Amino acid sequence: MGILRLGYSHVRVTDLAEAKHHYANTLGLYEMKAEGNKVWYKGWDEWDHHSVVLEEGGVGLVKFGFKVQYEDDIADIENKAATFGVKTERFSAGENAEVGDGLRIFTPSEHVFEIYHQMTPVSTEVGTHNPEAFPRHLVGVGVPGLDHALITAPNPKLMEDMLREVLDFYTTEKVVTDLTDDADTMAVWMSPNPSNSIHQLAVLGGPAGKLHHFAFQLDNWNDVGHAADLFSMDDVSIDIGPTRHGITRGQTVYFFDPSGNRNEVFAGGYKSYPDRPMIKWTADQLGKAIFYHARELNERFTNVLT
């Protein structure tokens, strides 16, 4: 099977107390563990121990974790990485809190991906026996869980190849310079095979090792608008939104945590399948592709990275 989904985002923050207020009180994540300069969170509808790790000391991405279905998938991915020419190393249970043995991949984009099978299971907040639709006492936005992430890379096509050949992702949408056969790839949106998620990871042309954003699930337009209201109440810096993407067709608000890491709440979007024809957008339509209503990019969206 291979990759099931994006399991966790581990990011640095400049002030842990400020960050905890943002992720716990505004977004409504549940604190699962705190130790030293780190804190671990999950959303109310997530069943593994955590999906977000905050580490005090700087800004930006430390690493992503991707969960695989079977233990043997780790060795399979290790072999594919060796064939592709990507550096890897094994890590042991206990190196990451509540995470079992796994494989660390050092990507061509200079990001760190951790591949694992086991994480300490916990219950969703509504349980699995005759559950309610949502917890009665949600805090803030009350995000159900982690959705996807976007990183930058000097060579998005090389990252697309690695994700496809090593992790068995497939491309749902991409931005190209033009529609000729030799067009350059500017950005890709990709999902694990055979997931029908519209994307788990996107890669945009840009500096190596940078985080553009990581996103949280919401159900619908109303939830996206409600989240924007709460961001204003809590003086959260909004990048753009509420609006819709052309790419993915999802509804969105982009905003910043107190350290300057960009977050997103994301709802809607169509279901994708490996046999669905890939959608291509050309560079001259990039504004519409990213922000369907305004049809132009704001300067922060492409220049602010952590």
How many residues are listed for the chain in this entry? 306
Catalytic residue, chosen from 49, 50, 111, 148, is: 148
Among 154, 156, 219, CA closest to 190: 156
Find the Cα–Cα–Cα–Cα dihedral 293, 294, 300, 301, rounded to 10°.
40
φ/ψ (deg, to 5) at 245: -85, 145
Four-residue CA torsion sign, 269, 306, 120, 44: negative
| 5 token code pair | 């989904």
Residues forming beta bridges with residue 99, ordered by sequence position: 119
Closest CA to 64 of 171, 149, 143: 149
Catalytic residue among 35, 264, 270, 296: 264
Beta pairing partners, 40: 33, 53
The Cα–Cα gap between 155 and 43 comes to 33
Q: What are phi and psi of 297, to 5 degrees?
A: -90, 140
**The token pair that represents 241 in the structure block:** 């939104």
From 132, 199, 212, 270, the catalytic residue: 199
Clarify whether 226 is annotated catalytic: no
- Domain 146-303 matching CATH 3.10.180.10: the answer reads yes
**Is 213 one of the catalytic residues?**
yes
199 a catalytic residue = yes
Query: Taking the model in full, what pTM does it have?
Result: 0.96
Give ranges for CATH 3.10.180.10 in the chain: 3-116, 146-303
3-state secondary structure of 144: coil
pLDDT by position in tens, the chain (length 306): 689 999 999 999 999 999 999 999 999 999 999 999 999 999 999 999 999 999 999 999 999 999 999 999 999 999 999 999 999 999 999 999 999 999 999 999 999 999 999 999 999 999 999 999 999 999 999 999 999 999 999 999 999 999 999 999 999 999 999 888 888 999 999 999 988 888 999 999 999 999 999 999 999 999 999 999 999 999 999 999 899 998 999 999 999 999 999 999 999 988 898 899 999 999 899 889 899 888 887 878 888 999
In angstroms, the CA 180 to CA 46 distance is: 43
Instruction: Check 23, 41, 170, 254 and give the catalytic one.
Output: 254
Task: Find out if CATH 3.40.630.40 is the number for domain 3-116.
Answer: no
CB atoms < 10 A from the CB of 208, how many? 14
